[in-house]
Amino acid sequence: MDSHRKGRVARGGGSFKDIAQRAVANSPGDPHRQLNVILRKSHIPAAFGEDRPVSDKTRSDYGRELHRAITLCRTCCVPIQNITDLNRKHVIAFCRQWEKEGLCEKTVAKYVSTLRRFLELLGKRGAIPVGQEWRQVLRSRDIVLGTQGTSLIAKFPKGWRDHGVDPNAVIDAVEQVDELVACQFRMQLHFGLRVNESCQIVPRDSDKGDHLMVWRGTKGGKERRVEFSSDPQKRAAQRQTLNHAMGLASRNSKGCLGNPKGSLRAMKNRMTYLARKHGIRRTGLGITLHGLRHQFACDLFRELTGLPAPVLREVEPSVYGEKAELVRWAILEIARQLGHERGPISYAYIGSPSSH
C-alpha cells in the first residue's frame, strides 16, 4: 500500500489528523488505545485508483502492523507517549531492528509502506520518502536492509501445469473428498478468482453469458469482468465449471459458493486443509493455491498473443518485441481480468517480456 507512485499524491492525506488529536486528548499516554479509536472511527481510503475504502483484510493488516510498531518503539529504545509522536526516526530504528532479526526485504518493504501511509494520513506526508531517497536515508545510517529493492517480476513459473502438475488430476482427487472445495479450485483455475472470491461468488448473479462479473469477495469490493475464452475447448470447460458452481450454490440460502453451514473463515480453513492434504504446498508438489491464478494468467497470455508467457523462457525476448503493441495490450488485459489496475503487476504472474 505504497503512498506514492511516480509522483502521484495519494488521496486522504491528513484525514486522520483531527480524530488522532481527539484520541490523544481522551487517552493521553496510551498509543494502543489511541490507535484503536482512530481505526474504529476513521475511513481508510485506497491510496490510488477507484475512490473506495480499503478491504477488510487490508484494514486488519494495517491495525496489526501498527500495533506491532508501537510495541517495537520500546524494544528499539524510542518509546512514544502518543500515536502522533510516531515519525521518521522511529521507522529508521525499526529498520535497524528488523535487520538484526533477519527479516527479508519484501517483508520490510510492506511494513515501511504501511507506516508511510499511516503517517501520511496523520498529516505527515514526506516523513518517510520513497524510492532512492528513502534508501539513501537508510544507507547514511549504515542500514542495508530496505535498500536492495524488491522485484515483482516472476522468475520461475508458479502455475500448476507450468510447474509440471496436472491441475485436473489434483482437483479430481479433491473432489472425491469435497465437491464444493474442488469446484472452488476450478473457479480459481478457469476464471482467475482469488480464494475469497471463489468462496463468496454468487454464480447465478455473476454469469453474464459471455463473461463473468466478479465483485463479491474482491479487494475493496472492486468489480471486474472476466471474459470467457475464445478457445472452444477452454470455453466449454469454463461453462461446465460455472454451471456446476450454480448447482452447488443453489444449496446455499445466500446463493454463494460457500458452505451453507459455516463461516467464510471455516470455509477457507477447510480449503487450506484439503490443499495441504493433497500436496498443494511448497514442500509437497511445489505448488500453492495462488498458483491457479498464475496458471490462468499464463494461459490467457498465450491465448491473447499466441506466445508463451515470458516466465516460461521458451522464446527470446526479441520475439515479444516484434509484437510489442499486442503484448502491451495483453499485459493490461491480464491485469484487468485479475483485478489489478496497473499493467506491470501482470509481470508477477507471467514474467517480463523485456528480459528473462
Grid cell locating 333: 488485459
Residue 356, domain member (yes or no): no
For residues 245 and 227, state if they share a domain.
Answer: yes
Question: With contact defined as beta carbons under 8 Å apart, do 338 and 293 qualify?
Answer: yes
Long-range pairs for 24-28: beta carbons < 8 A, 24 or more residues apart: 24/82, 24/83, 24/84, 28/81, 28/82
Summarised one tens digit per residue, pLDDT across range 226-255 is 999 999 999 999 999 999 999 999 999 999
For residues 34 and 110, state if they share a domain.
Answer: yes
Residue 150 has pLDDT above 70, yes or no: no
Q: Which domain holds residue 281?
A: 161-290
Residue 24, domain member (yes or no): yes
Burial class (CB in 10 A: 0-12, 13-18, 19+), 306: exposed
Instruction: Please tell me which residue, 105 or 310, carries the higher pLDDT value.
Output: 310
Instruction: Please tell me which residue, 54 or 320, carries the higher pLDDT value.
Output: 320
Burial class (CB in 10 A: 0-12, 13-18, 19+), 251: exposed
Residue 355, domain member (yes or no): no
Residue 83, domain member (yes or no): yes
Output the pLDDT for position 93: 96
Output the pLDDT for position 153: 84
- pLDDT > 90: what percent of the chain? 73
For residues 13 and 125, state if they share a domain.
Answer: yes
Grid cell locating 234: 477452454
Summarised one tens digit per residue, pLDDT across range 37-58 is 999 988 777 776 666 677 777 8
Q: Give the three-state DSSP class for 297.
A: helix
Residue 91, domain member (yes or no): yes
For residues 282 and 342, state if they share a domain.
Answer: no
For residues 125 and 29, state if they share a domain.
Answer: yes
Cβ burial 19-38 (10 Å sphere, 16+ → b, else e): bbeebbeebeebbeebbbbb
Grid cell locating 145: 536492509
For residues 194 and 319, state if they share a domain.
Answer: no
Output the pLDDT for position 146: 67
For residues 241 and 316, state if they share a domain.
Answer: no
Of 253, 269, 290, the domain-final residue: 290
Output the pLDDT for position 1: 46
Q: Say which residue the cell 488529536 belongs to.
A: 21
- Which among 188, 207, 206, 208 is positioned nearest to 196, based on CA atoms? 188
Of 290, 312, 334, the domain-final residue: 290
pLDDT, mean of residues 335-349: 91
Instruction: Please tell me which residue, 344 or 192, carries the higher pLDDT value.
Output: 192
Residue 89, domain member (yes or no): yes
- Which among 258, 345, 257 is positioned nearest to 293, based on CA atoms? 345
Q: What is 113-181 written as a DSSP string?
A: HHHHHHHHHTT-TTSS--HHHHHHHHHTTT--TTSS----S-SS--STGGGT--HHHHHHHHHTT-HHH
Of 104, 139, 174, the domain-final residue: 139
For residues 167 and 275, state if they share a domain.
Answer: yes
Residue 147, domain member (yes or no): no
For residues 188 and 284, state if they share a domain.
Answer: yes
- Which among 348, 10, 289, 291 is positioned nearest to 150, based on CA atoms? 348
Query: What pLDDT band is residue 151 in, cutting at 50, 70 and 90?
Result: low
- CA torsion 136→142→146→149, rounded to 10°? 60
Residue 5 has pLDDT above 60, yes or no: no
For residues 87 and 184, state if they share a domain.
Answer: no
> Of 5-19, 134-148, 258-272, 337-351, where does mean pLDDT reach its minimum?
5-19
Summarised one tens digit per residue, pLDDT across range 253-290 is 999 999 888 888 899 999 999 999 999 999 999 999 99
Output the pLDDT for position 342: 80
Output the pLDDT for position 148: 64
Output the pLDDT for position 268: 93
For residues 306 and 211, state if they share a domain.
Answer: no
Number of domains observed in the structure of the chain: 3
Output the pLDDT for position 3: 46
Grid cell locating 158: 508458479
Output the pLDDT for position 58: 80
For residues 50 and 80, state if they share a domain.
Answer: yes
Residue 266, domain member (yes or no): yes
Output the pLDDT for position 322: 95
Q: Average model confidence (pLDDT) for the chain?
A: 91
pLDDT, mean of residues 171-187: 98
